[in-house]
Amino acid sequence: MAEPPAPGSVVGPPRLEVGRRLAVTLSALAPDGAAVVQVGRQTLAVRYAIPGEAALVQVVERDPPRAEIVALQRKSAEAAVPRCPHFGRCGGCQLQHITLEGQRRHKTAMVAAALAGAGVRAEQVRPCRGGAGWAYRSLLRGTFDRRGDVTIAGFYGWGDRRLYNIETCPIQHPTNVRILEVVREAVRTLGLAPYAGPGRGLVRAVLAMTGHATGEALAVLSAAAPLPDRMAFVRAVLDRVPGLVGLFLTVQPAHSTAFFGQGVTLLWGRPYLEDEVLGLRVRFHPRSEMVPNPGALPHLLEAIVEAAELGREEQVMDLFSGSGLLPLALATRARRAVGVVSDRRAMEEAWATAARNGIANAVFYTRDPAKVLAKLHERGERTDALVAGPPGEGLPDATVDAIAAIGPRRLVYVGRSLHVTARDMARLGEAGFAVAWVQPVDLFPQTSHLQSVVALQRR
């Protein structure tokens, strides 16, 4: 019997027409979670495969090239049995077929490969670490649709627009799954049709939020118009979800994928859930930026604190603070913590959390981060360490310019996207900063997503 091809290789001419079969050995994980192999000048992606596995695959898409496994010739020692019956269809998880240790080893390699072009050496990337692999998610959003005569609610597939009816989800807090189940049943019982476009249908989606420390939960129904009988919906849900403390309705009439409308109406209970995150007593409202995996946050915080090298008499500033939790956690380790939060509502929540926890050495702004940095500099305030975890497309040009001109010696970058992180590392290198080390943090086990804490110092 012939030996399988070497890792990263392919047997046969490098032609990738749909239907073509090739014998390959997968070499690495791509940022989307697919295993890949180089075929000539093209990269062929194979979903639900593991680097190091040898397989006969068949090309199913040409642009970009993608194949599916026809026969597995050599199985990885890191293979695992997926816990979820929806795995392979639902797009929420990409890596349940790999052991947790294997996922983190491949994520470490993924970070090293992504940042190599920005001058980061492989030995500067530390082994990925994180928390529990299951039942960790505190936030669930399920979408409604019609399948024949049956109303379904769940998640979309990997790379397609097909909605799958979700009965269980092992990465979610069990209460969130129970909310999805109960609200779906209530919608069916009351005959509320799923939204299908302007003038067609009513219910859009459901949002579930659960505090891991307290077990308190909120449920929000998104609809295209007011419910015909709100109290009938309340009665159909109440007493069926352990820990539920608030039930809400938001009306989003626009033909849009946006969940929230202009307002959120409390139908029953109180307008927030209470929880404990990073040692802080916090309250989350329906529109709050809720922490998706509070159990893994200590790993993220530990890496940030180490990279910042904070002293008790120093000032630390977080340029992209969300709802302000990170500056409040850092305030106990510094003389003063400054946070730039996302909007005025987030600022009000941040100040309230500070008061609730007796923290008096934290301040918050809602301006552009570059302008806040410049303002503090003009006042003569010295910032000893800077934390930057930009959302979306990374650091704005003005922020990079401000960091280069007046930023401190120590900079901590928290990356969410490997592509964006690599680009920002190159830009910060040009601005005079050098990478000391990188700590990948697995906030989303069973998925391809991760965050990277990068310690930089001014040259």
Span 60-73, pLDDT tens digits: 999 999 999 999 99
Looking at the predicted structure, is the pLDDT value of residue 248 above 90? yes
| Fold observed for domain 139-284 | OB fold (Dihydrolipoamide Acetyltransferase, E2P) (2.40.50)
For residue 174, give both structure tokens.
Answer: 């069990």
- Tokens for 206? 């459901």
Residue 130 CA to residue 140 CA, distance in Å, equals 20
Same topology for domains 10-74 and 139-284, yes or no? yes
105-132+294-458: in CATH 3.40.50.150? yes
Q: At residue 129, does pLDDT exceed 80?
A: yes
Reduced to 3 states, what is the DSSP secondary structure of residue 337? strand
For residue 412, CA distances in Å to 15, 119, 407, 420 come to: 44, 17, 11, 15
| Residue 4 pLDDT | 60
pLDDT at residue 156, rounded to an integer: 96
Give the model confidence (pLDDT) of 71-97 as tens digits: 999 999 999 999 999 999 999 999 999
What local confidence, expressed as pLDDT, does residue 392 receive?
86
Q: Is the pLDDT of residue 226 over 60?
A: yes
Other Cβ atoms within 10 Å of 13 Cβ, number: 10
- Reported in sequence order, the residue ranges of 166-285 that DSSP labels E, i.e. its strands, are 203-210, 217-223, 244-251, 264-269, 273-277, 280-284
The structure's pTM equals 0.93
pLDDT in tens, 167-213: 999 999 999 999 999 999 999 999 999 999 999 999 999 999 999 99
Q: Does domain 10-74 have CATH number 2.60.120.580?
A: no
Domain spans, the chain: 10-74, 105-132+294-458, 139-284
Q: What is the pLDDT of residues 35-63, one digit of tens each?
A: 999 999 999 999 999 999 999 999 999 99
For all residues of the chain together, what is the average pLDDT?
Answer: 94
Q: Which has the higher per-residue pLDDT, 14 or 394?
A: 394
Q: Name the band, by pLDDT with cuts 50, 70 and 90, for residue 3.
A: low
pLDDT band at 1 (very low <50, low <70, confident <90, very high): very low
SS3 call for 422:
helix
- pLDDT at residue 240 above 70? yes
pLDDT single digits (tens) 306-346:
999 999 999 999 999 988 999 999 999 999 999 999 889 99
Q: How far is CA 320 from CA 235, 335, 339, 342, 364, in A?
A: 41, 20, 7, 7, 11
Residue 278's alpha-carbon distances to 82, 129, 219, 457, in angstroms, are 30, 17, 24, 26
Burial of 374 by CB count in 10 Å (0-12 exposed, 13-18 middle, 19+ buried)?
A: middle
How far is C-alpha 458 from the chain's CA centre? 29
Going by their DSSP bridges, the two strands 433-442 and 385-388 should be labelled as unpaired
- pLDDT at residue 2 in the model: 44
62: tokens are: 């040409």
